[in-house]
Structure 1
Amino acid sequence: MTEFDYVCLFLAIPVGLALTELAQGISLALRRRDQISLGRLTPLLLLFVLFLSALMIETFWQLREQVVVNAGLIFAGLVFTIVFYVAASFVFPERADDRVSLDEWFMQSRRFSLGGTSALVLIAFFTFLHFDVLETGRDGWIEVIVLLAFLAVAAWPIARALRAPTIAKALRAMILLDILYGALVITIIVTMS
């Protein structure tokens, strides 16, 4: 068993539970669609969280050669994945009462779901950048500039979605956010193949 495999044993559980929360939320919403207004914001948030899941898994895989088992890494990984689980658990309501609007649920819980996942994005990007610079031995200034430019562009729709006073304004911000992260995932897929 490699050190990467050992760390994955601990981190896979909260990530798997987070994905289970999302799958259960989708399932409940679809089964009770006559009682639940699906809206657009929660499906866009779901897409955003799935993009982040793909990026998180890809980032961890890229760092597999640098993984050294120690209590600090395991603790940081568990905190990261548990925050991810908590954020994912706020994407859908725990139970669907009659006439629940998922757009209204998004507006009420977005600080936990969108805010939590957005904080994790920052941590993941800087962690990846740190390990990439250590691995290559480069100064990493180009990557730092690209990363900061991406974060500056991505921060605007996140801030707009978190502070939007209306569902329509939050919807526009979430569409832009999903386009940005979708493009990032596609870019990673293309460059890795």
Structure 2
Amino acid sequence: MSAFEFFFSFFGLILGLSVAEVMTGFARVLKRRNRIRMGYVTPLLAGLLLLDLASFWSNTWGMMQQIQISLHLLIVGVVVAGTYFLAASLVFPDDLDEWNSLDAFYDTHKRWVVGGVWLANMVSGIGFTAFVTTPDEFWPNMVSADSLITVATFSAIMGGAAFIRDHRINAALFVVGMALYLF
């Protein structure tokens, strides 16, 4: 097993658990859809999180093929993947009987979810860039126009969703976020 395979098997396991957590929550809700109002913001948030996880997994696979594995890299990986898992575990309620609608659960937990996804992206962007670039390449990569536009756009979407209460605006932000991944 190569160092990359070792790293990615560990990292991929935690990311895979994040995907499973979202899908399991969605399945629980679908099974009880006659007892809980689903709404639209929670499924859209789940969709955005799944796309973000898939994109992150794909990008990491491409970036990390030639990297030297170290304890510091594993720590960054644990922080990022663990943050994704925590966010994923808060998308859907564990006990559906405690909530009459997903919208009420969303309103209570959305800042933790979108904040976690934002944090995972920022830590991974900085942390993994530090591992795949030389010191001379790091800052030019971090402050390139592409990087700044990506960070600003993602931060606006996630920040807007975290602090704007209107579900229609949140839904629009999530749809824009998903479109950016897909197109």
> Offset of 1:154 from its aligned partner?
2.7
1:186 matched to 2:182: yes
- C-alpha contact 2:42 2:106 (8 A) present in aligned 1: yes
- C-alpha contact 2:37 2:100 (8 A) present in aligned 1: yes
> Offset of 1:182 from its aligned partner?
2.8
Match of 2:18 in 1: 18
Aligned-residue sequence identity (percent) comes to 23
Question: Could you say what secondary structure the match of 1:120 adopts?
Answer: helix
Q: What are the ranges of 5 or more consecutive residues in structure 1 without an aligned counterpart? A: 188-193
Q: What are the ranges of 5 or more consecutive residues in structure 2 without an aligned counterpart? A: none
* Cα distance in 2 between the residues matched to 1:139 and 1:155: 19
* Cα distance in 1 between the residues matched to 2:86 and 2:31: 23
* Cα distance in 2 between the residues matched to 1:33 and 1:186: 28
More deviation, 150-159/23-32: 150-159
> Offset of 1:53 from its aligned partner?
0.6
Match of 1:41 in 2: 41
> Residues 80-103 of structure 1, C-alpha deviation per residue, up to 9 Å, x if partnerless?
111111110000001111662111
Match of 1:125 in 2: 125
Question: Could you say what secondary structure the match of 2:95 adopts?
Answer: coil
Aligned CA distance change for structure 1 residues 99 and 57 (closer, same or farther; 3 Å): closer
1:176 matched to 2:173: yes
Aligned CA distance change for structure 1 residues 114 and 106 (closer, same or farther; 3 Å): same
Aligned CA distance change for structure 1 residues 139 and 20 (closer, same or farther; 3 Å): closer
* Cα distance in 1 between the residues matched to 2:83 and 2:177: 23
Match of 1:65 in 2: 65
Task: Tell me the TM-score normalized by structure 2.
Answer: 0.86
* Cα distance in 1 between the residues matched to 2:12 and 2:42: 25
* Cα distance in 1 between the residues matched to 2:119 and 2:141: 23
> Residues 109-134 of structure 1, C-alpha deviation per residue, up to 9 Å, x if partnerless?
01211110111122233345556654
* Cα distance in 1 between the residues matched to 2:138 and 2:90: 40
Match of 2:145 in 1: 145
Work out the number of aligned pairs and report it: 183
- C-alpha contact 1:157 1:176 (8 A) present in aligned 2: yes
> Residues 30-50 of structure 1, C-alpha deviation per residue, up to 9 Å, x if partnerless?
000000111011011001101
Aligned CA distance change for structure 1 residues 53 and 84 (closer, same or farther; 3 Å): same
1:76 matched to 2:73: no
Name the amino acid aligned to 1:176.
Answer: L
* Cα distance in 2 between the residues matched to 1:163 and 1:82: 23
